Structure 1
């Protein structure tokens, strides 16, 4: 099955591409959290973070740093967020790193699972054998 990212790479789907090299592509998210929301993806269909070869991961991080500066200059946000999902949380089945500007009161956020605040002792116990 061809991923949406592969279809963008093959120009089967139109996208606003902001960076492209032999191994990495970055383009505007079609359903942005905020204006300036970009996805950075390897061109090969690696599904998760753990699958990325070190050289591709390094280039993605380089592109993220460059785009960070460009987003700051163009959109003057109050901050920048990065999000990367794996497993069933990766709806594209193709590794992608979200980078997007944040603005005070932009209403972006997440809900926790309801576990609540944890004591340091509980956290130490939880992660003791990690």
Structure 2
């Protein structure tokens, strides 16, 4: 069974047996929530719908986005991401992984963001 691996440079720090998830975070300056829905596939992580609750510094609403329930909803056409690389520092706060109707800080599985490991990667892997 495929699942989601979290780590860096191919070293697995945590493994989750999930097939879909939402990656969520707050913009470091504007404090506006962003959400991206992903599907875990054998080819990599496929981005589905994305949402943002507003605009601000470096936060333009993509062309074709639609405002629904206070968020701009849009789709971007990207190839499967393998890995998905994320910056993760104490100053920026933590990402959330949402699945099975609940959200959890990424630190639940990989520890709090720190200056030494200022990045993390997510990729499709085989779960045990």
In proportion to residue count, which structure has more helix?
1
TM over 0.5: no
**TM bucket normalised to smaller:** under 0.3
- TM-score scaled by length of structure 1: 0.27
Rg larger for: 1
In proportion to residue count, which structure has more strand?
2
